Structure 1
Amino acid sequence: MRLRLIVALLLTLLAACGTEGGTAEPLRITVRSLPVAYVGEHYDARVPASGGIRPYQYELEGDLPEGITFAAGRFSGTPRKKGSFKLTLVVSDAALSSRSASYTLKVTDPPPPQLSVKQPGSETDAPFIAVFKLSDRPATALRLHLDLKNLKPNLESLRASPDLLYVVRYDPEKQTLDLDGAFTGVVRGVEVFRLELTPSKKLRPQLRPQVQFFNAKGEPYTPNPPKRPPDKGKYSFDDLRAIAAAWPRTEKTSKTKPKKETAQANTGSQEETQANPPAPEGKPAQTEPEAPKQTYANEGGQEQQVATGREKATLSGDLDKNGKVDEADLKLLRSSYAFNPGGKLTPAEPKPGGKDTEKKPSGEEKAPDNTSSTTEGEAR
C-alpha cells in the first residue's frame, strides 16, 4: 500500500515538473482531421500532442497511401494513387498515459487553379483596370474566354506577367476576348494579366472568365476547354507551349559541322533565315556540349521535345529556324495563330524517315479537331 502511494506521488511530481505553473494537463492530440493530399504533389501534415509528460511516442495503425510516410507525428511524401485511407493514431507519454484518434486521409486529383478578378464592386461608367490573378495552385499554361458585354477593352493597356507568353484576340461584334498563354516555368499565386476596360453605360462589372489551366506536367486540369470559336492559322497552342518551354534556350551549332549541311536542313521552311547564327558572346560554339533534352506532355499524352540532339538543326519552338527561340518566334506565331480549343492538341508529326518526332510548322498543317465555335478574331 505504501509503495503504491509513493509511486503515485512520484508521478504527480513528474507531471508537475513537465508543465508550467506546476499544474498537470492531460495528454491530448490537438488535430481532429487531416488535410487532403493530391496525387503527384508533396504532402506535409503534422498531428502534434500536448499535455502529459514528455517525451511522446507515436504509433500508427492502418495502411498509408503509396508514397506517404509517418514519423514522430508527421505525415510527409508525395502520394501516387487516389483513395481514402483509414488510420488510427495512438500517442503515449512518459507517464504511460495514452490517447488515440481516428483519421481518414483522402488522396484526390489536384484541383484546378482559380482565376480571381479584381474589379469595381459598384456601378461605374468610368474606365477601370481589371486584374486577373492566379490562385495558389501550380500552372504552366491557360486558355481563356471572357465575355465583355458593354465593356470595351484597351488592348494596348494589357500587361501580362513577365513569365507569360500569350496570344490575344478580341471580337468587337460579339464582345468577347480570347487569350492563350504559356508560362516559361511553373507558377502559382501570380498576377496573370491586367486590362483596362471602358463601360459603354453605367453598370456593375461582373467578369467571369472561363479558363482551362494546365498543370506542372503540361496536362490539362480539366478535360474541356472554354467554348470559343476556332479560326484558321498556321500555328497552334502546342507551338506556343513549345516556345515557352524553350525560352530563352538557344541551339548551338558546332564548327565541325559544315555550314552547307546546316543550310540544307533548313531548306523548305517558309520562315527560313540564314543558317549558323553567331554563338552567344563569351560562349564559343565549338566548346558547347550537346544541348540536354527537355520534354512536356501535350493533351494527347505525347511528349514534345524542347531541345534536340546534335543531329537536329532546329529547336522545337524555333519557328523561324534561326537556331534560337526568342521574341521573333513569338511574333511569327502571333501573325498566324489558330484559336482552336476543341479536342486534343495537334500531335507532333514525324519527319519523313520516321526518326524525327519534332513538330515542324508547315503551310499544309491542319488545325486540331474541335467542336467549339465563335467568331474569328485577329491575333495581336
Structure 2
Amino acid sequence: MRKLWPMALLLAACGTQDPTGAGSEPLRLTASSLPPAYLGEPYQAVFSAEGGLRPYAFSLEGKLPQGLTFQGGRLSGVPREKGSFSLVLTVEDAAKNSRAQKLTLTVSDPPPPRLTLVLPPAQVEGPFLLLARVEGREAVGFQLEVRLQDLSPDLYSLKVASPVHLLDYDPQSRLLRLDMAFPKPLKDQEVFRLLLTPEKPLTPRLSPQVVLYDKEGKPSGQAPSRGRPLADLLGLAQNWGREGKELKGDLDGDGKVGEADLRLLAQGYFPKVQAPPPGEGSGKGGAP
C-alpha cells in the first residue's frame, strides 16, 4: 500500500482545483459610473464584472437616448438627443447570482475644440519655437490674434498644417494675426510653429485671442474683425487644388482653386491695426 501513496497524494492535489470557478470572490460589477456622451458623436461603454461563476449575462433597464443600443454588455451608437438618462445595469452569473448598479448617462453638446500654444516653461535668452496644436475636438479652422511683447517673430520660419492661411504682423503694435482653414477637419495635431527671438532674457507668456471653428464650421466665440468672413477661407480649403466649373473658392473664375485665389482673398482681409493700449507695443513690459 505504501507504493500507492504518491499516486493518492497526486490525485488529492488535483482534486483541490475548481475548473468551474465556484468558490471564487463574490460577484460584483466593475462599473460605478458612465463616461459622458456627446450629441452626434460615436459613443461606447463596455461593462464587465468580477467574481462569481462565469459566464456572465448583462441587462440594462431604463430609457436610452435615441441612437444608442445595448447588447452583450456593450452600450454603443451615436446619440441623437440630449438629456440625463437613469439606467440600472444588472449582471447575472452562471449560478444565478445577480448584482445591480444604478447609473446615469448624460448626453450634451460636444465642447468646442481648443488651440493650445506650447511655450518654454523657463527663462530663455535665445530663439525658440512657438508651437500650436488643435486639441479636444475636430476643427476646420481658427483665427488667432496675439501681441508679442519683447518677442520678434521670424515670419519666414512659419510652418503650417494647411496652405490655406493668411498671416499679418504689425511691428508697431506687435500684433500677430493668423487665420487658417484646413482641407479636412483636424484633431490633436500641430497646426503651426513659428520661431520667436526674445529681445531680453524672459519667460515667454502670451495672452492670445482665439476663435476655433468646429467640424460644422461653428465658431467657438465672437469672430475678430476681418475684411471678409472666415467662411471664404474655408471655401478655399474645401476645394483647394480642384478644377471645375463654379467651384466655391474660385475667386478669379479660372476654373481652379489655388494660390491665385488666396492672393485675391488676402487683399483687404486684415483691417488696419488699432493703436495698442498705453504701455503696450513699445517693447517694454514683457515678463522678466
TM-score, normalization by structure 2: 0.83
Match of residue 247 from structure 1: 240
The answer on whether the counterparts of 1:243 and 1:318 sit within 8 Å (CA) in structure 2 is: yes
Match of residue 17 from structure 1: 19
The answer on whether the counterparts of 2:150 and 2:199 sit within 8 Å (CA) in structure 1 is: yes
Q: Does 1:320 align with 2:273?
A: no
> Which structure's residues are more often strand, by fraction?
2
Q: CA deviation at 1:114?
A: 2.2
Match of residue 150 from structure 1: 150
**1:137 and 1:24 mapped to 2: Cα distance?**
44
Q: Does 1:169 align with 2:162?
A: no
State the percentage of identical aligned residues.
43
SS in 2 for 1:16: coil
Match of residue 182 from structure 1: 181
SS in 2 for 1:107: strand
1:1-380 alignment runs, 5 A limit: 16-19=18-21, 24-161=24-161, 163=162, 165-220=164-219, 222-225=220-223, 228=224, 230=225, 233=227, 235-251=228-244, 313-338=245-270, 374-375=273-274
Match of residue 8 from structure 2: none
Query: Tell me, which stretches of 5 or more residues in structure 1 are unaligned?
Result: 1-12, 252-312, 340-372
Q: How many residues align?
A: 260
**2:256 and 2:264 mapped to 1: Cα distance?**
13
**1:99 and 1:127 mapped to 2: Cα distance?**
61
**2:268 and 2:246 mapped to 1: Cα distance?**
20
Q: CA deviation at 1:338?
A: 4.2
SS in 2 for 1:191: strand
SS in 1 for 2:164: strand
Q: CA deviation at 1:334?
A: 2.2
The answer on whether the counterparts of 2:27 and 2:49 sit within 8 Å (CA) in structure 1 is: yes
Q: CA deviation at 1:320?
A: 1.2
Q: CA deviation at 1:151?
A: 1.2
Which aligned segments of 4 or more residues in structure 1 are displaced greater than 6 angstroms? none
**2:163 and 2:206 mapped to 1: Cα distance?**
21
The answer on whether the counterparts of 1:63 and 1:86 sit within 8 Å (CA) in structure 2 is: yes
Q: String of CA shifts for 1:134-191, please: whole Å, max 9, x gaps.
A: 2142111111122311111111111001x45211111222222111111000111110
Q: String of CA shifts for 1:264-315, please: whole Å, max 9, x gaps.
A: xxxxxxxxxxxxxxxxxxxxxxxxxxxxxxxxxxxxxxxxxxxxxxxxx521
Q: CA deviation at 1:335?
A: 3.3
Match of 2:255, as an amino acid?
Answer: G
Match of 1:28, as an amino acid?
Answer: R
Match of 1:131, as an amino acid?
Answer: L
**1:219 and 1:118 mapped to 2: Cα distance?**
25
SS in 2 for 1:170: strand
Match of 1:58, as an amino acid?
Answer: F
Q: Report the aligned-residue RMSD.
A: 2.2
Match of residue 277 from structure 1: none
**1:18 and 1:203 mapped to 2: Cα distance?**
67
Indicate the larger mover: 125-134 or 163-172: 163-172
The answer on whether the counterparts of 1:170 and 1:178 sit within 8 Å (CA) in structure 2 is: yes
**1:17 and 1:210 mapped to 2: Cα distance?**
63
